[in-house]
Structure 1
Amino acid sequence: MNPLHHRIGELLTTRFGVEPATIRPDSTLDELHLDSLALVEFAEVLQSEFDVTISDDDISQTASVDDIAALLTAMGAPR
């Protein structure tokens, strides 16, 4: 995993209790058991961590870690 994927994984682990072994680039947020409330909280965490603006619609339960990394990269987050 690249550094951005790694940081996303750390946030999922530390803030949402996701087991590190379950986080892969193709893991969806649904597979990682983030419910709709957790998605909103995750978007807020990403905004704070990467200084970007993410709407609730930008992240869905079907989004993968790769999708989130691509979104953050497109918004100017460091890789």
Structure 2
Amino acid sequence: MSDVYDRLIKLLADGFGLEAPSLRPDDTLGNLEMDSLALVELTVAVEEEFGVVLTNEEVGPDSTLAQAAEHIETKAVAA
């Protein structure tokens, strides 16, 4: 996986108490029990870590970790 994906996994492990070794690219944020508040916190953490803003349409409970990383990477390249 990409550096962005690895950094996202570290962010989820450090900031949300998820166990990095158990996270897979096809895990959805909803399956990881990230509710709406946690998703808002994640978008703030992503903005701080990567300097990009994610919208609710881009990252939501049905988004996979791979999709979230792809959105971050696409926006980071465009910035």
Scaled by the length of structure 2, the TM-score of the pair is 0.86
Note closer, same or farther for the CA distance 1:59–1:67 as it changes in structure 2 (3 Å cut).
same
Match of 2:24 in 1: 24
Provide the rounded CA distance (Å) in 1 between the counterparts of 2:69 and 2:20. 17
Q: Unmatched 5+ residue regions in structure 2?
A: none
Q: Unmatched 5+ residue regions in structure 1?
A: none
Q: Which amino acid aligns with 2:30?
A: D
Q: Percent sequence identity over matched residues?
A: 31
SS in 2 for 1:75: helix
- Are the equivalent residues in 2 in contact too, given 1:22–1:32 (CA < 8 A)? no
Scaled by the length of structure 1, the TM-score of the pair is 0.86
Report the CA distance between 1:76 and its aligned residue. Answer: 2.0
Match of 2:9 in 1: 9
Match of 1:61 in 2: 61
Report the CA distance between 1:17 and its aligned residue. Answer: 0.6
Provide the rounded CA distance (Å) in 2 between the counterparts of 1:28 and 1:47. 20
Deviant stretches of 4+, over 6 Å:
none
